[in-house]
Every structure is written in C-alpha cells, then in structure tokens.
A and B are shown apart, each in its own frame.
Chain A
Amino acid sequence: MIEPISDGKAEPARERRTRDRQWLWALLPVFPLVLLALRLWYLSRQNISTMLLLIQHVNPIGLISWLVIKLIWIFPIGVLVGWMVGTLSRISAPHALSPRLARIAYRLPGWVVVVAVVTAAVTWQLRFLPLLGMITVTTSALILRESGRSRLERFASRVLPVAAAVFGYLWFLPAGMEAARGDDPLTAVLLLLPPLLTVVLSGPLPAVAAQPVTIAAGSGLALLVPLLIAAAFLRAPVMPLSMLEIDDQDPTTPTEVVVGYVVTVDDRMTTLLNAHGAISFIPTENVVSRALCPDPTNQPPISDIRVRGWHVEQTLLTLLVTPGPPTSSTLDVDDQELRRHCRAFNAQT
C-alpha cells in the first residue's frame, strides 16, 4: 500500500520550497526560443550580422514546426522512463524519503502518460516498440498490483505482463531470431529482451536499492535528454539546403556548383549561407539551376530486418505517411552529383 507522498503538514519546509519554485514553470515556453536562438547563433558562426540577417528571413512558424518534428521523439523518453522508475521506486520503498523522480511519477497526470505512449508509438522506430510495450505494461501492472482494489485487478496485474510477453514473442520472435543470426545484435536484443523483462520487472525491488536506482535513473535522464536534444539540434538544418549551379557568363570557364542555405532570393541577388557560416551574394541572373539537397539526417537504415513486412527502423508515422524517395538504387547522374556536393557541405559543418 502506498502512503501519500506529502500531506502538506508532514513536510512543510519541502512543500514551501516546492511552491516557491512554481515560477520556474513560466520559463518553460522560453526553452524552444532559447534553442532556436542558439541554433541560429551556431549557424552564423557567432557572427552577429549574419545572425541578424538570418533572423530577418527565418520564419518562426517554420522553426517551431521544425523543432517539433525533429525533437518530438525525445519527449516520451523522459516521461516514460521517469514514470517507470519512479513508480518502481515508490512501490519498492513506500516509506523511504522519496526521490524527486518518484514524486514526479506519482503526480504525473494520466493523460500525460497516454500522450507520451501514443507519441512514442508513432515516432519511435519499430525496433524500440517492444521497449515501449515493456515500460507501459510493467508500470501499469505495478500500479494495478499495488493499488488494485478488487481481486480481478490484482489478478490482471499478474496476467497482463505474461500475456504481453507471449504476444511480444509471437510478434517479434522470428525477426529477432533473424537479427541474431544475421549479425545484428542490437536489433536482436531490442526485439527479444523486452518481452522477457516485462514479466521479470512487474514487481518491487529490494527496498534499499530503490532510492539509489531512482536517483541514478533521474540523473541519467537529466544528462541524456539534453544531450539527445543537442545532438538532434546541431544536425538538423534550419533552412533548406540547396545546390546552385552558377554560370558567370564567361564561356571559357565551366559552370560552378555551390552548396549552401539559401537565405533569400530577390530579382537581383541570391543570398547564400555557406558551410563556414559566411554569407555570399550571387547575382540571381547567374543562377542557372537550383536543387534541394537530401535531408542529411535522413540516412538509409542500418538493419535490413523486417517484422512481418515492416522494416525495424521505420516508424509508424513513416508507415502511415510514406516519405518521398530519398534515393533509389539506380541513380541518375544529377541525383548522385547532388548528394556528393551536399555531402561535402555537411562534412564541413
């Protein structure tokens, strides 16, 4: 049985501290703005004139939507891992001084968890879905087990993990075995381990270990999530990367190819940001052709394992909305040339 984390009387000092921090939530909307400003700062190589020029021409709606698309998959990691470890800790040692993560997990509204699960189901690659199932089922079973009122609920808490594991193996076993045979240990572990762990994890930990594990997990999340955001952030382009073919009207010299972010185009000048953060102005009449570079973050999959026809590195979102063909096996010259030049740009940034 779970005791209330705080009843408002037992820990007046802590309660006061918590209330005092409420103003911090007001800073939350500032976070994406700070990220965007930092991204433009990084893109302009700390040159304030370049940054101001970029801000002039960058569309905030575009930036926000880019931010959402590139970072949305990270949000469920924090919520779900915190939820699982916090619940586990609270159930293992209900009377111990609860670490912050356990308190947050306890107060986490149900709809936040549901939103996180649905977001993860849609934006995570198929090979991470067994892990998502494991987190969701074990934590739900733990909550049912500890606070289930009827025998049926407590019975369900025991049956649910086993049923989930059986379903998981029915669905993922062939692909997992194929991955294990096909020299792809990571995919094999991701497909085969979570169903087993679902059964094992649905219960309390030794009380003495609950707090250290929760603190370690909380610290790990606090370190990892910003790192993930930063990594996704620095890789993703803010403006469309283009390859321009420039003909300087001199018949003796061949056309020149330049790659960069097209900041703006008017009838006289095309403004381009190159790989070194420098702005160049090209007479628009000299631009013979322009092509969009492929998304550098959209790389071919590593694994060739499929789960009942679904590629393990595909997300449900890409299954529902088929992305445009990034490349094909029989490339025509222009495609490959484009990729070669764009790659040179991405290697320099």
Chain B
Amino acid sequence: MTTKTRSAARRPDEPSVSPGGAPSSVTGAASGRYLSPWSRVARVLRLITVLVVLALLTVLGVFAVVGFPGPPTEEELLEEAGLTGRSVLRIGVRADQPGTGYYDETLREFVGFEIDIALMIASDLGFRRDQVEFYQIQSEDRARMQATTPTGEYITVDLVVSSYTITPEREAQESVSFSEPYLLTEQSVVTRRDHPPVEHLGDLRGERVCTITTSTSEGPAIEAGLDLYEQNLASACVAGLLDHTYDAFTTDAAIMAGFVAQYPDQLYHHDIGYDRVEAWGINTGGNEALRTLVNLYLYRSWSDPEDQRWEEAFEEHLAPLQPFNGEQQVAIGEQPKVDPVDVREWP
C-alpha cells in the first residue's frame, strides 16, 4: 500500500543516481553514492522485465478485445459450415438398399441403418426429424453431392450418407471430404442359390459379374480378370441376378446383406476371404467445418457409453440380417473408433 508518510530511513545499499553510474547532481537524501555494478545490472534487468510484463499485458489486452486464440467452438463451426439460420438439412442417401438405406413405400419414409446415422448427425447439428430432407443419390453422383428429387431434378445436398467407402483417391477430389468411418464391412459376393460355392473372386472368371459404378469393388474384380458389368444402383444388380442377366454380384457385404435377407430362397452370400476393410464415411462435400462437426458427433457417439443411438441403429437394421447371410459377416457390430476432435467444449 502506498504510504503517505515520508520515511526518514535511508536505504544505504541502493541510492538513487543519475544514469551511467555517476553521482547524481540532484541533491537529495538518496543521492551522492555510486551504484555497484551488480545494482546497475539488476536495474537494467528489471527494466527489461517491466517491458516484458507490459508487452505481455498488451498482448493479453489485444486478445481480450479480439478473442483469445484457440480451437473453434461448436457454434463457430456451425456458422462456418453455413448451417446457422438454415431451416432444412438435405442429405443424400440410398433409396434401394434394404437394411442400409431404403425408401419404404408403405411408410412413405426412408428407413435403414444409414438413415438412422444421418438422423443422429442431423439431430446433433440441431435439425429436428421434420427439418431433414432425404434424397436418393446414385453412386456416380456421390462425389459431386448431386441427389435427385422425386420429380427427377438434381439438387445439391449437405451430407452424403450413402455406403461411401473412404479411399485416398476419392478424398483427393475437391468436392469429397470424408468424415471418420461410421461402419466397417468387407467386399463379398452374392449369387443365386444354385451357384457353386465361391471361395475367391477368381472363381467367378468367365461369369457375368455385376457391381456398382465407381464402387471400390471394381478394382479387385478387374484385377481378378472378371467379366464385369456395372450398374448405378445395387437394386439393378440384384434384379439382374434374379432374372439371370448376371451370375454374381460383388460389392460391400453390408449393401448386399439386405437383399439376401429379402430373397433368402433365391440368393446366397459367399464369404470370399478378401481381407480389405471397407470403411464407410460421410461426405461433407469439401465443407471442412461440417466435416469437423460430423467427426465431433461421431466421436461423442463412440465415446459416450450412454449414447446408444449407433448401437440401436445397428441392432434394428443390420443385426437382423445376419441369420440370412450365413458365414459372411454383414458388418462389424461396434462403432469404429473415432479420434477426439479439437473443439472448445465445456469441461
């Protein structure tokens, strides 16, 4: 505390002097003595320290005005993603794949595992069920985020949750930004029941094999030297299989499992011993802020033991398909691990 009393005591060790160490010409109780070299060094050191403190305070003051640097908040990401003030979230999904994404004509709504995952993300983004619009999207349009409306018009969607396997080649495209995976499955083969067992893709040489356009199953099938036919929709391959246009259908097991469950007497799922994991991700169409948010919600779903939405979606849509698919695992029944996301959160 500042004292108003003038002190009579003189500090013998550190009198006040003029700069340079010469005795001060100013007369006063403290003057008239040389400063020791150590005192001089100490004073200069203190001056530097004071300047450091003042600089630190200035930096803090500037941060207090413009905001302290750090990772973004969820709200900032929502704003950056262009979702604040939006009344509708558009999501591109499959409409023809029972189990994963399917438009139910009787219920007049989309149902399936991917629909539930899309609704989980939409809900975390702050969109109610009636504020989410689902549109069918075909394989070749997933990278460009172009879905079709019921009247056949193209529309740009905010998210694509459409059995889209994460690959570096796809991610290299500007309009593709994958979230962390939400489902792990593998490539397999479906044939009619009268087909001899298929152990690996090479067993299908000389047969007419259908796959989905731009799918990751194309590469291994071409490597195996198969006679490959491509369709835009999985349902077209299955229809071709059932009417004997094709002899086999190869793509991700989780896509085909729903069809096998739908036609258990006609279709058979072969486990072909192909060990590459197909990890499905959500495409946010190059919207990095939205990708961060999707990853954040996937991480919360993965890390929060009380959040059972992923598990419930799997139990409802994919687990019931397993009995129809024999030895071939439909998909891994646990949510894939998601790394923590650098977002400002309440502790």
Among A197, A227, A329, A343, point to the contact of B53 (Cβ < 8 A).
Answer: A197
Tell whether A177 is near chain B: CB-to-CB under 8 Å: no
**Identity of the chain B residue whose Cβ is nearest the Cβ of A214 in the assembled complex:** B50
Looking at the assembled complex, report how far the CB atom of B34 sits from the nearest CB atom of chain A, in whole angstroms: 13
Bound form: Cα–Cα A85–B51 in Å: 11
Tell whether B239 is near chain A: CB-to-CB under 8 Å: no
Bound form: Cα–Cα A204–B227 in Å: 89
Beta-carbon contact of A330 and B306 below 8 Å = yes
Tell whether B42 is near chain A: CB-to-CB under 8 Å: yes
Q: A205-B50, A207-B19 are in contact. Are A113 and B1 (CB under 8 A)?
A: yes
Bound form: Cα–Cα A303–B344 in Å: 8
Give the chain A neighbours of B47 by CB distance below 8 A. Answer: 205-206, 209, 213
Beta-carbon contact of A336 and B345 below 8 Å = no
Beta-carbon contact of A206 and B19 below 8 Å = yes
Bound form: Cα–Cα A134–B83 in Å: 45
Beta-carbon contact of A337 and B127 below 8 Å = yes
Bound form: Cα–Cα A145–B16 in Å: 13
Of B31, B43, B66, the most chain A CB neighbours within 10 A belong to B43
Main secondary structure of the interface of A (DSSP, over half): helix
Bound form: Cα–Cα A112–B30 in Å: 29
Bound form: Cα–Cα A220–B58 in Å: 8
Beta-carbon contact of B344 and A302 below 8 Å = yes
Interface residue tally of chain B, by bracket?
A: 35 or more
Tell whether A10 is near chain B: CB-to-CB under 8 Å: no
How many A-B contacts at CB < 8 Å in the complex? 195
Interface string of B19-47 (1 = CB under 8 A from A): 10000101011110000000010111111
Main secondary structure of the interface of B (DSSP, over half): loop
Looking at the assembled complex, report how far the CB atom of A150 sits from the nearest CB atom of chain B, in whole angstroms: 8
Bound form: Cα–Cα A79–B141 in Å: 64
Give the chain A neighbours of B130 by CB distance below 8 A. Answer: 254
Beta-carbon contact of B2 and A143 below 8 Å = yes
**Identity of the chain B residue whose Cβ is nearest the Cβ of A335 in the assembled complex:** B126
In chain B, residues 1-25, which have Cβ atoms closer than 8 Å to a Cβ of chain A? 1-3, 5-11, 14, 16-19, 24
Of B46, B78, B304, the most chain A CB neighbours within 10 A belong to B46
Tell whether B224 is near chain A: CB-to-CB under 8 Å: no
Beta-carbon contact of B61 and A228 below 8 Å = yes
Looking at the assembled complex, report how far the CB atom of A177 sits from the nearest CB atom of chain B, in whole angstroms: 19
Give the chain A neighbours of B86 by CB distance below 8 A. Answer: 340
Beta-carbon contact of A149 and B56 below 8 Å = no
Beta-carbon contact of B84 and A340 below 8 Å = yes
Tell whether B332 is near chain A: CB-to-CB under 8 Å: no
Beta-carbon contact of B300 and A330 below 8 Å = yes
Looking at the assembled complex, report how far the CB atom of B225 sits from the nearest CB atom of chain A, in whole angstroms: 51
Beta-carbon contact of A343 and B344 below 8 Å = no
Q: Of the listed stretches A14-22, A31-39, A59-67, A87-95, name the one at the interface; the rest are far from the partner chain.
A: A87-95
Beta-carbon contact of B64 and A228 below 8 Å = yes
Q: Of the listed stretches A42-50, A102-110, A163-171, A278-286, name the one at the interface; the rest are far from the partner chain.
A: A102-110
In chain A, residues 183-219, which have Cβ atoms closer than 8 Å to a Cβ of chain B? 186, 189, 193, 197, 200-201, 203-209, 213, 216-217
Beta-carbon contact of A337 and B7 below 8 Å = no
Beta-carbon contact of B44 and A206 below 8 Å = yes
Beta-carbon contact of A200 and B45 below 8 Å = yes
Give the chain B neighbours of A2 by CB distance below 8 A. Answer: 6-7
Query: Could you list 9 further interchain pairs (A-B, Cβ under 8 angstroms) beyond the known A131-B56, A145-B11, A325-B346?
Result: A1-B9, A87-B2, A105-B2, A134-B53, A143-B3, A205-B43, A213-B50, A327-B74, A340-B84
9 A-B residue pairings within 8 Å (CB atoms): A140-B1, A148-B7, A186-B68, A206-B43, A216-B54, A300-B74, A303-B70, A339-B74, A339-B78
Which A residues contact B (CB, under 8 angstroms)? 1-4, 81, 83, 85, 87-88, 92-95, 105-108, 110, 113-114, 128, 131, 134, 140, 143, 145-149, 154, 186, 189, 193, 197, 200-201, 203-209, 213, 216-217, 220, 224, 227-228, 231, 254, 257, 299-304, 311, 325-331, 333, 336-341, 343-344, 347
10 residue pairs, one from A and one from B, having the closest CB atoms = A302-B70, A344-B85, A344-B84, A336-B126, A340-B126, A208-B19, A147-B7, A110-B1, A337-B126, A300-B344
